[in-house]
Structure 1
């Protein structure tokens, strides 16, 4: 194993050994990271990079939606589903506009959600 693979191995071990709560937090962090990249790319008028980062964030939100347990999660799962649905709509709009302010609003919401999960 070369030294260049060390971060990937560390990340893989972090995921494989994570609790469900930690996995949710890691998903939020991945979406936030991609939205930060999209914001920067949008400001630099790098449309392709912004679009790719927004699509990655959308994929993560989609994954979060697919993991919701409506049977056991009740109202909390329903509320999160509505919030994720709203975020997906906003990210689609942001991908059309490529405006950093549109992207930032979604990032801030995800940061607040991540912080809430971290407090649980």
Structure 2
């Protein structure tokens, strides 16, 4: 599908507006959604031995995990320290997958992070009608 420059600009504006108007819970679910997508794309690229594309996806996934880590406030809730440990481990897996050109760490990261995405999606759906919670996310 060929997009005109106007269509591309409109899509970019829509995506930007979606992010700017999202609640903290929606932002977390957006990040997790893109994280899982990146990992699936990286896995597919690794299967094809397309290391440039795999690397790009893995680096973007690392950036998302870094963002989730930076937004995390482990001092605010009981599970924060454990989640930070998961993010740290996932980052190590993504670096290994990229440096070693190894699909197994990518798959392990996906197996580790996809259930978190599902949990955040469920939590966001449950809270969609509730008043905003405290200012901590992820």
* Structure 1 runs of 4+ with >2 Å offset: 96-102
Instruction: State how far apart, in whole Å, the 2-side matches of 1:70 and 1:39 are.
Output: 30
Gaps of 5+ in 1: none
Instruction: Quote the offset at 1:103 in angstroms.
Output: 1.1
Relative to the length of structure 2, the TM-score reads 0.79
Relative to the length of structure 1, the TM-score reads 0.90
**In the alignment, does 2:60 pair up with 1:60?**
no
State which drifts further: 24-33 or 58-67.
Answer: 24-33
Gaps of 5+ in 2: 124-138
**In the alignment, does 2:75 pair up with 1:87?**
no
Q: Kindly name which structure, 1 or 2, has the bigger radius of gyration based on alpha carbons.
A: 2
Q: How many residues align?
A: 119
Comparing both structures, which one devotes a greater share of its residues to helix? 1
Q: Which residue of 2 aligns with 1:96?
A: 99
Instruction: State how far apart, in whole Å, the 1-side matches of 2:98 and 2:112 are.
Output: 17
Instruction: Quote the offset at 1:62 in angstroms.
Output: 0.6
State which drifts further: 47-56 or 1-10.
Answer: 1-10
**C-alpha offsets along residues 26-83 of structure 1, whole Å, 9 cap, x if unaligned?**
111111111112111111111111111101100110110000112322x211111011
**In the alignment, does 2:82 pair up with 1:113?**
no
- The Cα RMSD (Å) is 1.5
